[in-house]
Amino acid sequence: MRTTDPGDAARIELLLAELRLPAVKQVWASLATQADKEGWPAGRFLAALAEHEIAERARRRLERHLAEARLPPGKTLDTFDFEVVPVVSKAQVMALAAGDAWLNNGANLLLFGPPGGGKSHLAAALGFALVENGWRVLFTRTTDLVQRLQIARRELALEAAIAKLDKYHLLILDDLAYVTKDQAETSVLFELISARYERKSLLITANQPFGEWGKIFPDQAMTVAVVDRLVHHATIFEMNVESYRRRTALERKRGRGRPPIHATITANA
C-alpha cells in the first residue's frame, strides 16, 4: 500500500488552507489511504473529496440559518398535534413547508385563533421546516420587531433596517394583536408590510380577526390598506379551537381522554 510523502502531505495541508477547504483538509488523508488500499481511480477520489466538502458546507449553512431564525425550541411539525386541530390539513401544511409555491411569489400565511390554540407552534414548526429546506426565516414577536424599527426610525435608518430584513424569505410576526394602538408603532409596521408586499413573504399570527384590527391600527384607512396587502396573495388558517394549554392541563387533572374539539379553517389563494 502506498503512503503519501510527508513533504507532499504538508504541502497539501497548506494548499487546502489557502483554498479554504476545511472539510477536505480534515478528511483527505484518511480518504487517500482508503483510495490507495482499494485502488480507487483518481476521479473517484476527487469526487469523494468534493462531495464531503459540499455536505459539510450545507451542514454549516443549516446551522447558521437555524441560529439566525431565532425559532422557539422544540416546535416542529413532528411535535405539532394535528389531531388537536383536526381541520388543519397536514397535507396542506407539508406542502407549505416546501416553500416553493408561495415564498417564490412573496405570498403570505395568516394564522388566526384564540390564545393557546397552537398558532405560534405551527408558525415556528413551519419556519423550522422551511430552514431545513434551504429558506431563510426570522421568527420574532411583533412587538419586539416594531420596537427595533422604531429605534431605526429615530436614528433615520428605518428604510435601511427594513431593507436588511429582505435577506429573509419569510418573516414570522407572532402575536400581531399585542401591538399597541399607537401611531408610531403601527406606522412602522405598516411600512414593513408595504415594503414586503408582493416581494417577500410574511407569516402572521393574531388572536383577533380582521374585523377587530381597528383596535390595533388607529387609522381606518391604514387598517384597510394593511388587510388588503396581506390578503391579496395569502393562505388563511382560522384555528378556532379550545386552548391547547388549558386543554392539556384539564386532561392531566381529569386523567381521561380528549373531549371533542370544534375548529374551522379557510384557505384563500
| CATH classification at residue 121 | 3.40.50.300
Judgement on whether residues 126 and 33 belong to the same structural domain of the protein? no
Judgement on whether residues 116 and 147 belong to the same structural domain of the protein? yes
* H-helix or E-strand spanning residue 259: none
Q: Is residue 241 part of a domain?
A: yes
Domain termination residue (choose one: 67, 86, 112): 67
Q: Which residue has 421568527 as its cell numbers? A: 139
- Cα–Cα dist 173/143, whole Å: 9
pLDDT band at 141 (very low <50, low <70, confident <90, very high): very high
Q: Are 49 and 119 in contact (CB under 8 A)?
A: no
Q: How many angstroms separate the Cα of 63 from the Cα of each of 49, 58, 134, 155, 249?
A: 21, 9, 11, 32, 35
Domain termination residue (choose one: 35, 67, 99): 67
Beta-ladder partners of 236: 110
Say if residue 184's pLDDT is above 90.
no
Judgement on whether residues 32 and 135 belong to the same structural domain of the protein? no
Q: Are 214 and 220 in contact (CB under 8 A)?
A: yes
What end-to-end distance do the CA atoms of the chain give, in Å?
Answer: 64
Q: Is residue 264 part of a domain?
A: no
Average pLDDT over residues 3-31: 83
The sign of the torsion formed by the CA atoms of 225, 141, 127, 266 equals: negative
Q: Say what the pLDDT of residue 223 is.
A: 87
Q: Is residue 242 part of a domain?
A: yes
User: Using DSSP, how many helices (H) and how many strands (E) does the chain show?
Assistant: 11, 5
Judgement on whether residues 63 and 75 belong to the same structural domain of the protein? no
Judgement on whether residues 22 and 113 belong to the same structural domain of the protein? no
Judgement on whether residues 146 and 243 belong to the same structural domain of the protein? yes
Domain termination residue (choose one: 50, 67, 84): 67
Q: Say what the pLDDT of residue 243 is.
A: 59
Query: 39 or 260: which carries more pLDDT confidence?
Result: 39
Q: Is residue 82 part of a domain?
A: yes
**76: helix, strand or coil:** coil
Query: 157 or 208: which carries more pLDDT confidence?
Result: 157
Q: Say what the pLDDT of residue 253 is.
A: 63
Judgement on whether residues 209 and 131 belong to the same structural domain of the protein? yes
Q: Is residue 265 part of a domain?
A: no
Q: Is residue 50 part of a domain?
A: yes
Q: Grid coordinates in use for 63?
A: 446551522
Q: Is residue 267 part of a domain?
A: no
Judgement on whether residues 77 and 201 belong to the same structural domain of the protein? yes
Q: Are 239 and 119 in contact (CB under 8 A)?
A: yes
- Cα–Cα dist 29/16, whole Å: 12
Where in the sequence is the domain holding 215, given as residue range(s)?
Answer: 71-254
Q: Is residue 120 part of a domain?
A: yes
Judgement on whether residues 129 and 165 belong to the same structural domain of the protein? yes
Q: Which residue has 384597510 as its cell numbers? A: 224
Average pLDDT over residues 81-107: 90
Judgement on whether residues 26 and 151 belong to the same structural domain of the protein? no
pLDDT band at 261 (very low <50, low <70, confident <90, very high): very low
Q: Which residue has 398558532 as its cell numbers? A: 119
Judgement on whether residues 45 and 159 belong to the same structural domain of the protein? no
- Cα–Cα dist 98/109, whole Å: 14
Judgement on whether residues 86 and 61 belong to the same structural domain of the protein? no
Q: Say what the pLDDT of residue 203 is.
A: 98
Number of domains in the chain: 2
Say if residue 177's pLDDT is above 90.
no
**Those residues with Cβ within 8 angstroms of residue 209's Cβ, 6 or more apart along the chain or in another chain:** 112, 238
Per-residue DSSP letter, 267: -
